[in-house]
Structure 1
Amino acid sequence: MTFDGFSEAALDFYDDLELDNSKSFWEAHSEVYRTEIATPMRELTDELADEFGPAKIFRPYRDVRFAKDKTPYKTHQGAYVPVAPATGYYVQIGAPGVLIGAGFYDASPDRLASIRAAIDHDRHGPELERIIGSLMAADWEIGGSTLKTSPRGFPADHPRIELLRHKTLTVSHHLGFDEVIHSRALVDRIRADWRQTTPLLDWLVRHGD
């Protein structure tokens, strides 16, 4: 099967799920989830696998064991292509439309220390700045969780203190409801966007060990 876009029914499903996040709603609409969301997401990522590798399609169920919010279902469907631990390419569909992303989404203390050491380095740090600058110039949004203060061992006036504060580092493009999400052209759009983020992921792989 080939990917032909996400349908309006996929967006409607998540609009409705945000209003009624219940087992009864899910069971009544599970076929819509399967045919309009899960299957197209697999078709989409399969078409990208030749260049980027196989994707992990996330389960739709939330882990509510330690959460105050006990709603059982995620209000988006995500897929992720790993290139290193908790690092890789990302795409999701939900009520706000389609989002494309990449970056590192979690890091062990040792790995985060390695990344920060590279950011501090006189050559590797400016290289990351140039990569981030190029992505921002191409309208990528820089995100991730950050410290409110300087990480231990780094001065507040460090020239790359904003990067050093990151505990995770992501970039994202929000396609929203652009017509491209309803067509096969979404494959090429994601392919082009993920290619733009490859230098960032390559940098993280090289310096995150």
Structure 2
Amino acid sequence: MPRQFAGWDESAFDVLLRLDGEPSQEVMRETRKDRERLVRQPMVSLLHDLAWEDPAFEDHSVWRYGKTPWWWQNQSAVARVARNIEIGLRFNLDGLRVQGAWWYADSEQISRFRAAVAAEASGRVLVDVVAELRGRGFEITGDLLKRVPREYPADHPRAALLRHRSLLAVRHLGSDERLHTPEVVDRVLATYGELRPLLTWLTTHVAACVPPAISD
């Protein structure tokens, strides 16, 4: 099937520049049609092509407009891998970023995450996965406690991971000329391939329900 995504036009950045800072309601009304055509619709096409290429992207959403300027300045989309585990995309003046995220978790999921981090076998696998992603240039972030949870020793060998209440691995694909071409589809798929071990670990050890299959 022919791909729909052709890249973001240069004019998409002109629209986002008009929305930069604290745009007025009038500016948001004036730019809405151009933003839909030049910023949001390319993201819709990108997710369509990603879902066609890989079933991991089938359950996806492309966000519309919110009341605050942030939602106009950032075009986001997510593909749901399992409960609270997602592949996220965001397009803005800085270009495109892709992330694998476990976030907005309840206390039950957080407890499962900590238990899996503390367990020797699963914990060491996650350490290796995170180290590999860092080595590939991913930013590892999340909501962190100031201290290790009280049920675990402060000098636990995986204390840094035990502090996480969410875990994200983020890659910035930038805003170079390739962003204006269909090559973005392949770059996102390649990034997802690098994120797959993390998403698989989180799905196996943290998700509460049986998730959609993560393709090889």
Contact 1:91 1:101 in 2 (8 A): yes
2:65 to 47, 50, 60: 60
**Which runs of 5 or more structure 1 residues have no equivalent in the other structure?**
63-69
- Normalising by the residue count of structure 2, what TM-score does the alignment of the two structures yield? 0.88
Letter in 1 for 2:4: T
C-alpha change, 1:205 and 1:44, in structure 2 (3 Å) is same
Letter of the 1:28 partner, please give it. E
Contact 2:22-2:69 within 8 A present in 1 as well? no
CA contact (8 A) 2:19 2:69 kept: no
Deviation at 1:21, TM superposition (A): 2.3
Percent identity between matched residues is: 29
TM-score (norm 1): 0.91
* Alpha-carbon separation, structure 2, partners of 1:172 and 1:71: 23
SS in 1 for 2:90: strand
1:128 alignment partner in structure 2: 126
In structure 2, runs of 5+ residues without a counterpart are 209-216
* Deviation for aligned residue 1:22: 2.4
1:72 deviation in Å?
7.2
**Helix, strand or coil at the partner of 1:173:** strand
RMSD: 1.5
Whole-Å Cα distance in 2 between the matches of residues 72 and 78 of structure 1? 10
The answer to whether the Cα contact below 8 Å between 1:119 and 1:164 also exists between their aligned partners in 2 is: yes
> Any idea what the Cα deviations from partners look like across 1:16-72, whole Å, max 9, x if unmatched?
21234222111111111111111100000000113122311122204xxxxxxx657
1:14 Cα deviation after fit = 1.9
Residues 140-187 of structure 1 show CA distances to partners (whole Å, capped at 9, x for unaligned) of 110111111111211111100111111110011112212211110000
1:151 match: 149
Of residues 107, 116, 119 in structure 1, which corresponds to 2:117? Answer: 119
SS of residue matched to 1:29: helix
Counterpart of 2:165 (choices 164, 167, 176) is: 167
Q: Could you tell me which amino acid in structure 1 is paired with residue 63 of structure 2?
A: F
